[in-house]
Amino acid sequence: MTHTSPANADGPGLFHGAFTALVTPFTKDGSTIDLDRLEAQIEFQSQGGVSGIVLCGTTGESPTLTADEFRAVVERGVTAGKQHKLTVIVGTGSNCTAKAIEAHRLAHAAGADASLQVNPYYNKPSQEGLCRHFEAIADSCDLPIMLYNIPGRTGVALNAATIERLGKHAHIQAIKDATGGLELADETRRRTNLAILSGDDPMTLPLMSIGAVGVVSVISNIVPDRVAELCRAALRGDWNEARSIHDELLPLARGLLSLDTNPVPVKTAMRLLNRDNGTVRLPLCEGCDRVEQGVRQLITPLMKQRGPAGPAATRSMSGCVTG
């Protein structure tokens, strides 16, 4: 299988721009996945002009998907993404290296462009353990890898020396930085050729100002066009336009990532905009009245500006997968 050229090649690379961390749409009772709605959401992202999508990430509630559901989302999502000429990245990380390799190979076989590999969570490996984990995955097939450094979720962080070592592997080509600051990303930029992407919507502009090339975004589930334009403006050096869009999006970005655990607020927003039914799976649960009121306040301007969702976002629920 032929993949897009590495991120550090001349010109725009595989990982440049806005990538939407897609929610996984469930039926109302949460028992099955609505694959038709997934396709509609991918079409909406394409219409918004994003560079690509990320399937089965944190926002996609990947820990709650069965093996069969994971395969179904990957296969249908890759097919739909390719039809819309989107780059498709699949979250295949695990705190079990063997499971991560299995999922990584599945994504490769399905035709994904890359995988997203989160730090192994809960078991807290050393830096040497982290290196060996990611190197084993990278050695398992030729699918490009985006590392995902999010210590707030995983309890362990990649340090600069480890990132530098991993960046020498031909298949490890990018890193999603969700550390909440600029220091490590700046160090990564100076010590590696990895494509750096923001993993936190409020940090997209700050990180791109020091050399990041895009974002894996939650809020682009709702406003893909604005997140995509923010990235395009920053990449072409139009910082006035980028700052203007940043200022426009910052209340939404902060609110949706602080009112409740992601993806509860964004799924609530999508329900209010008629783009999803808002269902999340246990151990997550729907937001309280305070959360819904907060989300409603954040998206009221969008509801007024954009009107109700179009046919692609409201298509009937069918073609579901049994969990």
Catalytic residues: 148, 176
Q: Which residues of 112-151 are buried (b: 16+ CB within 10 A; e: fewer)?
A: bbbbbbbbbbeeebeeeebbebbbebbebeebbbbbbbbe
Helix (H) or strand (E) holding 101: helix 97-110
Handedness of CA 290, 292, 296, 298 (dihedral sign): positive
Could you please report the per-residue DSSP string of 245-298?
A: HHHHHHHHHHHHTTSSSTTHHHHHHHHHTTS------TTS----HHHHHHHHHH
Structural contact between residues 263 and 22, judged by C-beta atoms closer than 8 angstroms: no
Task: Report how far residue 250's alpha carbon sits from residue 22's, in angstroms, rounded to the nearest whole number.
Answer: 19
Helix (H) or strand (E) holding 48: helix 35-48
Strands 172-177, 195-198: parallel, antiparallel or unpaired by DSSP? parallel
CA distance 171 to 139: 8
Q: Are 118 and 91 in contact (CB under 8 A)?
A: yes
SS3 sequence, 144-186?
A: CEEEEECHHHHCCCCCHHHHHHHCCCCCEEEEEECCCCCHHHH
3-class SS of residue 117: strand
Phi, psi (degrees; rounded to nearest 5) at 265: -65, -40
Separation between Cα atoms, residue 285 and residue 283, nearest integer Å: 6
Alpha carbon distance 68, 56 (integer Å): 13
